Structure 1
Amino acid sequence: MCGRLNIIADPLAQLVSETLGIEFWTTTNHDVRPTQSLSVVSASSNHSFEQTALGWGVQPAWSSKLLINAKSETVASKSTFKYGFAHSPVVVPCSGWYEWSTQQGVKQKFLFEGQSPVLYMAGVVVDGNVVTLTRSPTEQCSHYHHRMPLILHHDQITPWVLGTIDERAHLLNVLPDEEFIISNAEPPAKPSAQMSLF
């Protein structure tokens, strides 16, 4: 799930900068794919926010596939992800994400957007790259896919990125407090069969 992102730099960069008090920038890309660079928000050495550019997805030595997602239910305990959860949490600001869903017998691509121009996806850093987190879907999203990104409200970014492990753990089951705007999108090539979507 969530194997493509939509990023619209204006007004996303300005809103993230204003919300988090940093100079955040990114470039518009309506079809961000795994292995491409993402602008993420992480903790700096002086325990404040900073922007970092990281590749999306990691391929551990034990896996033949690229891992781009980690389940929120197991991210704190699975050996591949638990260090990143404990020490390197990040948020990935984006404008939306895409899902493929079969509707009336036809496979279609749908764009999921928030009521605000910015969505904050929870992620963790693994081997110098970012892995985004997924959770069970809301009722609205369950009609399209059995998983969805772990979306944080802007006031949950501080406890996620700068907080304690317990504060992060409390956010692993957080539900979005708003409905998403869901629209049809042009289908690009199908996600690679070599990609593992946790």
Structure 2
Amino acid sequence: MCGRYLINRTAPVIKQLLTRLEEQGFSVKTGEIFPSNEVPVMILGENEEVDAADMTWGFHGFRKGQLIINARSETVMEKKMFAKAFRETRCVFPTSGFYEWDEQKEKFLLKEDDVVYLAGFYKKFEDGFRCIILTTAANESVAPIHDRMPVVLNQEELLPWLKDLQFAEEILEKEMPELTSVKIEK
């Protein structure tokens, strides 16, 4: 489901992105990231290249105080709240992994290498730009912990994800990579 994730500043890709945002005057949180935090994302820049942006994680919901942080990949193109943003303004969340909890409320960090790229999209609200993470059915590496997981991209898929709607639609159907789970001790 992806209700929290990790940003570790030591990963070179993440460090470069954070440095670029800090040079633009943004103060970016690292460590464990929670819904409603200001987060770094990768977007399609003016020159059709990957660029950095700072947005709030979560769309405003239908009820006061409601925050929607994930969208199901299976229905994203049908839901009025998500369809236009998915078609026009996709983004990528560069993370060091994401957290899930199993039925016993044990917390796990799911990761691969230094960076896990999570597929998402964004739109502008009255209070600024807000972004959301796409989820899909869990693969074999995540299913023992949770039945959902974020849509994970590899580095070669970042620019096509941001630029090409047909490619993005195809990604929604792809097999997710195997991830390593690390139990977080309290």
TM superposition score normalised by structure 2: 0.86
Give the Å deviation of 1:16.
5.3
RMSD of aligned residue pairs (Cα, Å): 1.7
One-letter identity of the residue aligned with 1:183: V
Give the Å deviation of 1:34.
0.4
Aligned residues: 173
One-letter identity of the residue aligned with 1:185: I
Instruction: Render the CA deviation track for 1:33-59: whole Å, top value 9, x for unaligned.
Output: 000011100011222211000110011
Are the counterparts in 2 of residues 123 and 131 from structure 1 also a CA contact under 8 Å? Answer: yes
Please state whether the residue corresponding to 1:175 is helix, strand or coil.
coil
Unpaired stretches in structure 2, ≥5 consecutive residues: 20-27
| 1:102-181 alignment runs, 5 A limit | 102=103, 106-114=104-112, 116-127=113-124, 128-163=129-164, 165-177=165-177, 179-181=178-180
Give the Å deviation of 1:186.
4.0
Q: What's the % identity of the aligned pairs?
A: 29
Query: In the alignment, does 2:7 pair up with 1:7?
Result: yes
Give the direction of change, closer, same or farther, for the CA distance of 1:66–1:186 in structure 2 (3 Å limit): farther
Q: Distance in 2 between matches of 1:16 and 1:36?
A: 17
Give 2:70's aligned residue: 69
Please state whether the residue corresponding to 2:17 is helix, strand or coil.
coil
Match of 1:24 among 13, 17, 41: 17
Instruction: Render the CA deviation track for 1:146-186: whole Å, top value 9, x for unaligned.
Output: 100000011111110122x2111011122233x21111114
Q: Distance in 1 between matches of 2:185 and 2:173?
A: 31
Unpaired stretches in structure 1, ≥5 consecutive residues: 18-22, 188-198
Q: Distance in 1 between matches of 2:51 and 2:182?
A: 32
* Regions of 4+ moved over 6 Å: none
TM superposition score normalised by structure 1: 0.81
Give the direction of change, closer, same or farther, for the CA distance of 1:6–1:16 in structure 2 (3 Å limit): closer
Instruction: Render the CA deviation track for 1:81-107: whole Å, top value 9, x for unaligned.
Output: 1111111000000001111112xxx32
Give 2:45's aligned residue: 44
Are the counterparts in 1 of residues 58 and 132 from structure 2 also a CA contact under 8 Å? Answer: yes
Give the direction of change, closer, same or farther, for the CA distance of 1:28–1:37 in structure 2 (3 Å limit): closer
Are the counterparts in 1 of residues 8 and 14 from structure 2 also a CA contact under 8 Å? Answer: no
Please state whether the residue corresponding to 1:131 is helix, strand or coil.
strand
Please state whether the residue corresponding to 1:167 is helix, strand or coil.
helix
Give the Å deviation of 1:30.
2.5
Give 1:185's aligned residue: 184
Give 2:25's aligned residue: none
One-letter identity of the residue aligned with 1:92: F
